[in-house]
Every structure is written in C-alpha cells, then in structure tokens.
Structure 1
Amino acid sequence: MNKHDKEAMLKTIPQKGFFGHPKGLSTLFFTEFWERFSYYGMRAILLFYMYFEVTDGGLGIDQTTANSIMAIYGSLVYMSGIIGGWIADRILGTARTVFYGGVLIMIGHVILALPAGIYALFISMIFIIIGTGLLKPNVGSMVGDLYSEKDPRRDSGFSIYYMGINMGAFIAPYIVGTIGETHNFHLGFSIAAVGMFIGLVVYVITRKKSLGLAGAHVPNPLTKPERSKTIRIVSLAVVIIALVGWFGFSGGWLTIDRVIFFISILGVIIPAVYFISMYRSPKTNAQERSRLLAYIPLFLAAMMFWAIQEQGSTILATYANERTQLDFLGIELKASWFQSLNPLFIIMLAPVFAWLWTKLGDRQPSVSQKFSFGLLFAGLSFLVMIFPALSGGEQLVSPLWLVLSFFLVVLGELLLSPVGLSATTKLAPAAFAAQMMSLWNLSNASAQAINAQVVRFYNPDTEVIYFGAIGGVAIVLGIILFMLSPKLKNFMQGIK
C-alpha cells in the first residue's frame, strides 16, 4: 500500500473512541479477546479430554500420545499463520481473512462440542488450525493499519491490544475449564464455541463503522493465471492428502505416531529452508546476510525457550492433574486453572518491564543478553520442579511449585518475546520483512514440533531427570549466548 492509499484509508477510520485511540481498536481488542478466550478455554481441557478414560468422559488416548498430539497441534497452529498471511496478501485482504478465520474456529469448537469420538477431535483440529492461521496474524496486522507510521499512539495501541489477548486467555480456564472438569468436556467446548461466536458478532456489527477501509486492501492480488495455477495446486494437494490419509489409516501403515513424527521433521526443515533461501537470495545484500547470521543464535534460543514455555499446556498440565494437591487452603482447585497463570503474570509484569527498559534507556542489556536472561529464567522454571520430585516422591505436592514455575517462565517470556519481535523487524532483509515475521512465529512451531518427541520421555519416574536435563540445557545455552553477545553485536551491523 503506497503512502496516498494509506492516508486515504486512515481518513475512513474514526481516530477517537477507545481510550483516546482509534475506534477500530475496540473492535479488534474484543475480537481477539473472544478468540483467545475460545482457544485457551478449549486448550485448558483438551489434554484431559484426550487421555481421560471413556467412563470419565474422555477419549482414553494414551497419556504420552495425548501430550505429543497437543504439542503437534500447537505447532501446526503457528505454522498455519504463514498460509493466513499469504491468503490476506494475495486473495482476500486482512479484514475478510479475519472473518473467515473466526468462522472456521467456531465450527471447530462446535464439532468438539459433539460427542462424536476421536475422528471428530481430529476434524475439529483441522478447522481450528486453519482458522487460527487465518485470524491471528491478520488481526495484529489490522491494528497496525489503524495508525500512521508516525502516530505516537501506535506502541500504546499494541499494548492495549496485547492486554486483550491476555485477558481472554486469563479468564477462559476458569469458565471453560471449570465447566469442562466439573460437568462435561463437551459442554466446556460448547462454551468455547459461544466465545468465538460472540467475537464474530462484535466484529461484524462494528467493523464498518469503526474500521472503515482498514484491511480491505489486497496488497499483492493474484493475477488470473496465478489464480488458476493456485487452484490447481491446492486442489491437487488436498486430493493427495485425502487419499494418503484414507488409504494410510485404513491400511494401518499411517499411524498417529508416524504423522506426529513427520510433522516434527517439518518443524525443523521449514525454518531451515527459510533461512537458506533468504541468505542466498540476490535480493539480500552483504550487510543483511551478516544480520541473518546474527539472527540464527537468537532463533535457536527462542526455540529452546518456547520448548519449555509451551510445556505449560502439556507436561505441567498433566502434572497439575496427576501430581498436585488440588485441595489448597480449603479451596478445591481445578487442574485447568493453572493455565491462567501465564496470562495473569504477563498482565501484572508487562508494564513493569516496559517501565524498566524506558528507565534504563541506552544502559539496558543488548538483544542477545536479554535472550540469554530469558533462557536462564526458563531453565530455572524447570529446575525448581526437581525439588517437589525429590521431596514428595509419589505424594501429591503443593500447587505453589507450579505457581513458581509459571512465574519464572513468564519473566523469561517478557525478556525474550517482545524483544524478539522487535529484533526480527530490525534484522530482517528489506525484501523479506513479512517472511521474517513468519520465521519468528516458526520458532514456536519448531519448538512444539520437537516437543512432540521430547514429551514422550516424561513420566513420574523420570521427573528429576526430565526437568533437570531440559532446564540445565536451557541455562547452558543461555550462558553460551551471553558469552557470544559481543560477537553477535558485530554481526548485527549497528542494530541494537
């Protein structure tokens, strides 16, 4: 979009109406609030639904396999953002892509709400994966469309939007989780579907008046020949996948474990292809190649961090249900409630970190040093889980251990995640700015793809080794990254 198109679009957006921000921010705030409510509400009980016995309302899937499925599910959600960005850029524009994404997510939750067994589970996952890929990256893009490049409200607007994400994620486990664990998993999933429906209603009713032409523009539309070619390729891919799936599962040679392993491999190959293609591209100059080399250690550090952070919804969720004393100070806790700790701590601590970086100014740590500290806290969040394993044995342990673990990993997240987003935009080659953001999201996808194999080593007998080994590796990598910081600073070619 050129400068004149951007200015024309901004004139269609009411620039006041939501705490001094463009009115459209309220639409996107509540759309993402309800989308995150539905997603994190579903995720809070999905693992339990998979491995609980059929007599307890679950599917009776092996617990280790259920943890691997959860990890692959999360990986595919992040991978699908690449498709969502491409569809918005080439076919629909962000506004329509967000709407269709929300519809697919809601359909996925509705399918989960039906007691239709394991096949319904996998069908619902397909809808939610594709829908989230369409919606999530493009809502964030539309937030940027509300402001001019020099608007001083821009960073504050993203902070408010980020708060909406975490507020939805915070309350969801208490509502969906409580209903799912106390009454019925399918009833809980239906509440998640209602949440996404509310988000869609808010979006449709308020979009025209508050968003104007934001997201209506298709930046790089397909030509007629490209459209025909795309339809042929997509149709062929769908047919091949459907045939392989049908004959594979019916013939018994395509098992769930083999599908998980294949996706785990993709999680490593795809970012490697991204790096190589950008580095070798004639559109990337020598300075940008140097910055790409500096980005590789940051990407690997992010993978290690997310590999620990994302186990909050798998291994630590299992730990909450199986190994934690849920009767605490006279309160009957629900295992799903622990999923609220991450967004709660982010809401509490994000303003503190924002103030800290402003206060330190030029004296704040470098990007790679912040990453190293983030890895340190992530490693500590797993190392502290050794102590209840050593002292408690087979006994149920205090829930405060999980609270401490979640608190430490959030400290790491606030050191690494927003800094990583900023560094990605700064270190990106000019010709690959959008793809570099996709690459950053792939750090999480790759981590969860690897987690699908790693979580298989967890059981109550291996807790000390499991938490100790992963936490120890994170800390060692953090120390190495800290030591490499001066060298990486040189490779960054002036980027701080």
Structure 2
Amino acid sequence: MTSKRNEFFDTQVLGHPSGLFVLFFTEMWERFSFYGMRALLVLFLVSALGIGGWDWPRENALALYGTYLALLYLTPIIGGTLADKYLGNRKAIIIGAIVMTLGHASMAIESNPFFLYLGLLLLVIGTGFFKPNMTSFISILYKDFPEKKDGAYTIFYMGVNAGAFLGIMLCGYLGEILGWSWGFGLAGIFMLLGLLQFTFAQGIFGDVGKKPNTEDKSIEADNHVKIEDKLNPFTIVDKALITIISVLGLTWVINDPLSKIGETNFLEFGGTDYSGHTILITLLLFIFLITSRILRYSKITRDKMIAVVIFAFFIIFFWASFEQAGGSMSIFAKDYTSRILSGNAAFIFNIVDVIITVVPIGIITYVLYLLFKQTFKKYFISNLILGFSFILIWGVVIWKIYNNFNTYSYEISYNTYTITAEDTKPIAITAETIVPENAEIIENTTVIISSNEFLKDDKISILDLDKKGTNFKYLKPEQADLINNNIPATIIRKKDNEIQIPATWFLILNSLFIIAFAPLFSKWWESKYNPKPAAKYAIGLFFLAIGFGFLAYGASGIPQGAKTASVSIVWLIFAYLFHTLGELCVSPVGLSYVSKLVPPRMIAFMFGVWYLALAIGNKTSGKMGAMIDDITTKYDISTFFLIFTVVPIVIGIIALLLSPVLKKLMHGVK
C-alpha cells in the first residue's frame, strides 16, 4: 500500500502532488454547484410569479431553507459510516456526485414543485456520501506524509472557496438575469463535469480509497482511556434512545416546512399542534442520553467530553446567525438595498467586478495549466473534461462582463387609472384590465434596466414586481404572452449606462474575504498570541455581532412594516466582512477538538453530536429568519437585525467567562 501511496507524490504542482489538484478541482466544481444553488433557492421561492418565482411568503421559504441546511449536516454521518464499512471513499464520492448531479438536473425543472423537492432530497443524500469522504480521502492519502497534510488541506480549502465564489457569482447572475432554470442548470452542468473529471483520473490515486479503510484509526487518547472505553459499550437502552431521538428529530425538522407549505402537519392531533412538545421531548431525551454516556467514564475523560458539549453549544448560536446569509440577508439584499447604479458609479462597479472575477479565475486557470503539464497525456480524458469546464467558465464570464457594460436604463411611460371620488391609489392598466367608466386615466413614468436596444416610442411590456408601483421589469415578448398582468408601456428616452447588482452578488463577499484574510489568521493561530479555544469562539461571535450591528444601523431609517427600501450597499459589505472574520475564528476550532478530546468508542457518537449541533444551528437560522415579517410588522427590520447583534454578544461573553473552566476540563489538550 505504501508504494501505491508514494506514486501519488511522483508528480508535483506548486510543491504538492498533482493528484491533490484532481481533488481540488473535483471539490471546486461540487462547491460551485452547491453554493450556486444555495444562492438562488430563497430568492427563487420568494420572487414574483411573473418572473418565474413561486411568490412564497418569506416564512415558508426560510422554513424550507433551514430544513434543507439541517439535513445537509446529518446525512454525512450516514455517508461516512457506509464508506468506512462497505463502500470505500472513492465509490462513495462517485455515488454522491451522481446523486447530486441528478438533484441539480431535477431542480432545473423548477416550475414543477415535485422536481424541486426531489432535487433538494437528492442533494441532501448526495452530499451525505460526497462531503465526508472527500476530506477523509485526503487524510488517508497523506497518512504516510503527515508533515504535508496541513499544506494539503490549505490547498483543498482554497478549492472550496474558489468553487463557492464562482458558483454564487455565475449561477446567481444567470438565475437573476436570464431565469432561475439557467442558474440551477449551470450548477448541475458543473457538478456533472466534476464527477466525470474525478472518475477518469482515479488511476492517479493508486489503490487508496478503493476499499473500506480497515486500518487503525487511532486518535489522541491515552491508554487508560482506551482500556476504560471497552468497559462502556452502548447498551440496548442507549441504542433505543438514539433511534427515538433520530426519528422524533427528523420528523420535526421535515414537518416544519411541510406544515406551512403543504398544510400537512404530522404533529397535529385532535386540533392541537404538538410540534413544540415534540422538539422539547427530543431535546430532553438527548440531554439524558449524552449525560448518561458521559457519566460512565472516569473524571478526566468525562471532563474532556463535557468540553466538547460546551463547544457544540456555542456552535449552534454561531451558525444560527451566520447562515442568515442565504436567508434573511438575501431577502434584505433583494428588497431593502439600493442595487441600481448609474453613470460613474455603475462604471466603477463594473471595473471592480471584472477584477474580482477575472483575477481569481486567471489564477485557477494557471494552476490548471500546471496540472496539464504533469498529467495531460496520462489522464487525457479527465484533463479534456477539465479543460472544457474552464472554456465554459470563461465563456460565461466574458458574456457577463459584456452584458454588464451594455446594460442601459430607459425612461418609459405607462397608463394607470384612479377613481377620483374614492381617492384610490393609481392602479396600473394591464393588458387585460377593464377600466371602470368613471375612472380617470393618468400617465405615469418609471425607469427600467435592459440590455436590449430600444428606440423612442417603441412599445414594450413591463411587470410590476412588488405590486407597489416602485419596481418594474422589462418582459421579453415571449414572457409577456404568458403573463396576463403585463403592463403595456412606451419608451420615452434612453438614459445613461445603468446596472442592477444581482442580490446574489453579495454572497460572493464571504469567499472573497476568506481568500484575502485566511493567510493572516493562519499566522495569528501560529503565533504566541494564539487565543484559547473559548476565546476564539468569543471573538468569532463578537465579529458576527458587529456585522449585524452594521445592518441594524443601516436599516434604522426603514419604517415599521416596510416591505421594500433602498439602503446603501455599504452596510451589507461591512456585514459580510465581519461575518467572514468571525467564521475564520470559529472554523479551525471544531472537529479537531472532537478528535483530540473524545475516547475511541465515543468518537463516532460525538462527531454525530457535533454535526447535530451544526444541523440545529442551521435549522434555527431558518426558524429565526422566518420571523423577519412578524418582527418587521410589529417593530421594524432594524430590530430584527438587532436581535442577531445582541444574542452573539451575550453568548460570546459567556464563552469568555467559561474559558478558565474549559481550560481545566481539557486537561492540557491543545
């Protein structure tokens, strides 16, 4: 086996095995697909029917979003176990990629609810096979070269962020500009290309990952723990409780959006909704189970496991707030942020957008060139597919740049009517409006943005997106034929170059800031000023709070109950900056401490606990995000973001206060 592993290191790219970059690009296209779809999901669900959305209430969209994210963190426990026992890493990765490709293909038929739900289900299942096995595959490949492992994971992590960056930017752009199925479809295309590229390059890994890994997976635990661990097997009661907790928890997670969307409530009996009772019972049973397991160990082992539970508690609050990015913060970008730029502002934004798009892709293309030099002949088909992927990426990027520099605003006129005696607000006259006899016709003007060329007095059709007379969209003739409430309009004049920043664009800032700041944080962690684990959590939570503080301040002028506004984009940019800084503090702490602190027999169980904490945090993000309308109606949207400012500060202070306790519980583990 060692000789096979050594072959993996025969060819070098940037000082690392070329095989690592096969994994780099596979992971990059998978993350491209995942984040591209994630950027569009909530926006698609809440967008108007006239532009292909489903016009869902925000509460329903965020409930589905939260459940989807929660399930994504539960299935890897199953997928990792199946790979370890039966499949092997490589087969599990391929199965996961195939299932996810089918999921993205299903979501491209977004007009049919069945296919969207099927797509989400397949993505959850596929991620369960793919996600845990890519990271463990690297660990196994580098087993005989531990000194190279940190560098390998750094390269791999850059692939994750490069994929997220490109997926959000390009899938989001196509989805919002051309149509939702274009964005969902592009995600599926690159998932398929990533699958094919990996499949045809498997020879580079030798025999590693073909079969289940039966080698010793020892972790950092002293001998008395290993001996003691054999005396604490899982009892029948433990296994029964795990089954009950799993069933009740999954039922509650799935029932939440189902009861809102499909009006089917599995937890309603005799006219009473027992959803709250169900999750409370599940939580109490879980606390009893984990407490009873921990108490069976000696004091040192018990203390270390308690430390893991405390860390998991902190992580729930972090991700419950952080994952507002794809939910309520996307809604804020769409409905409350001034995203229309004209003149010099539009030109400057386009230049900046070109730089932050082209430079990263240029760097990754150079890496691809270096990989080609090492492996092109030996893995011709895989490299051909990879080359085609980049031709496609550059094609979409060039079209995006061209479209942004050739988008104009047009002043247009359209007719409305009002019944003066009743003093009603002017109502737009659509293609099918029957105007009352006593109505007064009033000509209104507005501005639309389009890359189409129009002349003065051209007749077009527009759509009132928010039905408030403030946000209109140009409809192509084929779209207008399908939409009864389109409004006939006339071109008055062409204005300056003008663009509308896609709401999904702001999501790329997270990946961009990670790429920019990760090296600085890495040096911080390696210095003598490296904070203790609890302090890292606290700092991360404080950064998170600062980000939401900017949003709360920026939204302070929005009146109570408002559904739309035009807040400066600066506040969202600052929010994403500080949220990313918070993520960089929290992300290095987690799973490594689970592996260091937990005894062997409990390692799988405690990893499950950790992923469960992530699932709870992500589901909570959807539940809390769904409160946006209620809080905005009763108070205002600034108050909504103020909640996410205060809660992380409180939890961060608790983390700091517990730092001495955690240090003691960890018994010298660093």
> TM-score w.r.t. structure 1 length?
0.87
Distance in 2 separating the partners of 1:476 and 1:373: 12
Q: In the TM superposition, what are the counterparts of 1:107-256 in structure 2 within 5 Å?
A: 107-148=102-143, 150-208=145-203, 210-219=204-213, 253-254=264-265
Q: Is the 8 A contact 1:268 1:446 kept in 2?
A: no
Describe the SS at the equivalent of 1:431: helix
Residue 215 of structure 1 aligns with an amino acid whose one-letter code is G
What runs of 5+ residues in structure 2 fail to find an aligned partner?
216-242, 347-498
Q: Is the 8 A contact 2:514 2:580 kept in 1?
A: yes
Distance 1:253 1:194, change over 3 A: closer
Distance in 1 separating the partners of 2:276 and 2:85: 32
Cα displacement string for residues 415-444 of structure 1 (whole angstroms, at most 9, x for unaligned residues): 111122332222222333344334333322
Q: Deviation at 1:288?
A: 1.7
Distance 1:172 1:272, change over 3 A: farther
Q: Is the 8 A contact 2:110 2:116 kept in 1?
A: no
Equivalent residue number for residue 230 of structure 1 = none
Q: Deviation at 1:452?
A: 3.0
What runs of 5+ residues in structure 1 fail to find an aligned partner?
222-232
Equivalent residue number for residue 335 of structure 2 = 322
Q: Is the 8 A contact 2:175 2:183 kept in 1?
A: yes
Q: Is the 8 A contact 1:59 1:117 kept in 2?
A: no
Q: Deviation at 1:480?
A: 1.5
> TM-score w.r.t. structure 2 length?
0.65
Distance in 1 separating the partners of 2:28 and 2:615: 22
Q: Is the 8 A contact 2:558 2:638 kept in 1?
A: no
Q: Deviation at 1:18?
A: 2.8
Q: Deviation at 1:380?
A: 1.8
Distance 1:262 1:324, change over 3 A: farther
Distance in 1 separating the partners of 2:519 and 2:541: 21
Percent identity, aligned pairs only, is 30
| 1:287 equivalenced with 2:282 (yes/no) | no
Equivalent residue number for residue 389 of structure 2 = none
Distance 1:195 1:274, change over 3 A: farther
482-491 vs 154-163, which deviates more?
482-491
Cα displacement string for residues 201-234 of structure 1 (whole angstroms, at most 9, x for unaligned residues): 11011112x211221121369xxxxxxxxxxx9x
Q: Is the 8 A contact 1:35 1:196 kept in 2?
A: yes
| 1:97 equivalenced with 2:74 (yes/no) | no
Q: Is the 8 A contact 1:59 1:118 kept in 2?
A: no
| 1:364 equivalenced with 2:530 (yes/no) | yes
Distance in 2 separating the partners of 1:18 and 1:431: 39
Match of 1:308 among 309, 321, 324: 321
Describe the SS at the equivalent of 1:61: coil
Distance 1:323 1:252, change over 3 A: closer
Residue 417 of structure 1 aligns with an amino acid whose one-letter code is S
Distance 1:402 1:286, change over 3 A: same
Distance 1:387 1:115, change over 3 A: closer
Q: Is the 8 A contact 2:39 2:507 kept in 1?
A: yes
Distance 1:107 1:372, change over 3 A: same
Q: Deviation at 1:377?
A: 1.1
Distance 1:271 1:134, change over 3 A: farther
Q: In the TM superposition, what are the counterparts of 1:330-479 in structure 2 within 5 Å?
A: 330=346, 331-360=499-528, 363-393=529-559, 395-459=565-629, 460-461=632-633, 462-479=636-653
Larger strand percent: 2
Equivalent residue number for residue 298 of structure 1 = 311
Residue 70 of structure 1 aligns with an amino acid whose one-letter code is Y
Q: Deviation at 1:65?
A: 0.7
Q: Is the 8 A contact 2:556 2:638 kept in 1?
A: yes
| 1:76 equivalenced with 2:71 (yes/no) | yes
Higher relative contact order (CA 8 A, sep 6+): 1
Distance in 2 separating the partners of 1:413 and 1:267: 29
Distance in 2 separating the partners of 1:251 and 1:42: 23
Distance in 1 separating the partners of 2:524 and 2:11: 29
Equivalent residue number for residue 229 of structure 1 = none
Distance in 2 separating the partners of 1:434 and 1:455: 31
Residue 213 of structure 2 aligns with an amino acid whose one-letter code is P
Q: Deviation at 1:325?
A: 0.6
| 1:33 equivalenced with 2:28 (yes/no) | yes
Distance 1:176 1:252, change over 3 A: closer
Distance in 2 separating the partners of 1:106 and 1:270: 37
Describe the SS at the equivalent of 2:74: helix
Q: Deviation at 1:140?
A: 0.5
Larger helix percent: 1
Q: Deviation at 1:77?
A: 0.7
Distance 1:80 1:174, change over 3 A: same
Q: Is the 8 A contact 2:539 2:582 kept in 1?
A: yes
Match of 2:290 among 275, 279, 282: 275
Q: Deviation at 1:8?
A: 5.4
Q: How many residues are treated as equivalent by the alignment?
A: 466
Residue 465 of structure 1 aligns with an amino acid whose one-letter code is T
Cα displacement string for residues 403-424 of structure 1 (whole angstroms, at most 9, x for unaligned residues): 1111111111111111223322
* Root mean square deviation of aligned Cα: 3.0
Distance in 2 separating the partners of 1:13 and 1:388: 52
Distance in 2 separating the partners of 1:266 and 1:117: 36
Q: Deviation at 1:129?
A: 0.3
Distance in 1 separating the partners of 2:643 and 2:262: 39
Residue 337 of structure 1 aligns with an amino acid whose one-letter code is W
Q: Is the 8 A contact 2:93 2:129 kept in 1?
A: yes
Distance in 2 separating the partners of 1:290 and 1:149: 32
Distance 1:323 1:251, change over 3 A: closer
Q: Is the 8 A contact 1:104 1:130 kept in 2?
A: yes
Distance 1:176 1:253, change over 3 A: closer
Equivalent residue number for residue 47 of structure 1 = 42
